Amino acid sequence: MDITIIDYGMGNLRSVQKAFEKAGARATITNEAGLVAQAERLVLPGVGAMAPAMQKLHELGLMDIIRDFVTTGKPFLGICLGFQLLFSRSTEGGDVPGLNLLTGTVERFPPGQKVPHIGWNALVFQRDDCPLWKGLPLETYVYFCHSYYVKPDKPEITASLTEYGRSFSSSVWDKNVFGVQFHPEKSQDIGLRILKNFIENT
């Protein structure tokens, strides 16, 4: 199975690639519009802030290609910043529009809450039928590093919740679109299982 990882200059792309390869895929890193458009399965990783990320995607001519890809019904996965980019807008750096593939906002954890939220935390599954969770134990811990969290307009797309001062949406699933706030590539065996599920079960 071929995985295409979008390179827009923001993120630990090599570690994502290596994790997918370990999970059994052929993984290619690219920013070429043609290769992104023709992907079998597309992954948008990322570390950083939404405004420069959206600017990079715009400069590379990838925003509409990503949106068009999602309409094909082929599997798409956003990771960390790539997860946040799926939504309508972010308050990080003002009022920053996202890809608007899913409606909702990205907001900073409230004052008094230590940020970034970093380290291992639990997933509380909300949708047992989510393909990413196949074969996972009920007590599943993954690795996070983020200061902003997603608030989907449609709570029913939330595939898991995580507690950090409040309960927030740590993953979503809407048809062929999957998004995870945590880092599967840093989540050891559990993370590899999630990536393998994306490869084999979506």
Q: Is 124 helix (H, G, I), strand (E, B) or coil?
A: strand
Q: Which two tokens stand for residue 113?
A: 């809450």
Single-letter amino acid code for the residue at 50: M
| Residues recognised as catalytic | 80, 183, 185
Task: Please answer whether residues 26 and 52 qualify as being in contact, where contact means their C-beta atoms are separated by less than 8 angstroms.
Answer: no
DSSP-H helix ranges across the chain: 13-22, 33-37, 50-59, 63-71, 81-84, 188-201
Cα–Cα dist 86/196, whole Å: 22
Bond before 116 cis per omega within 30 degrees = yes
Task: Please answer whether residues 144 and 182 qualify as being in contact, where contact means their C-beta atoms are separated by less than 8 angstroms.
Answer: yes
DSSP for residue 202: -
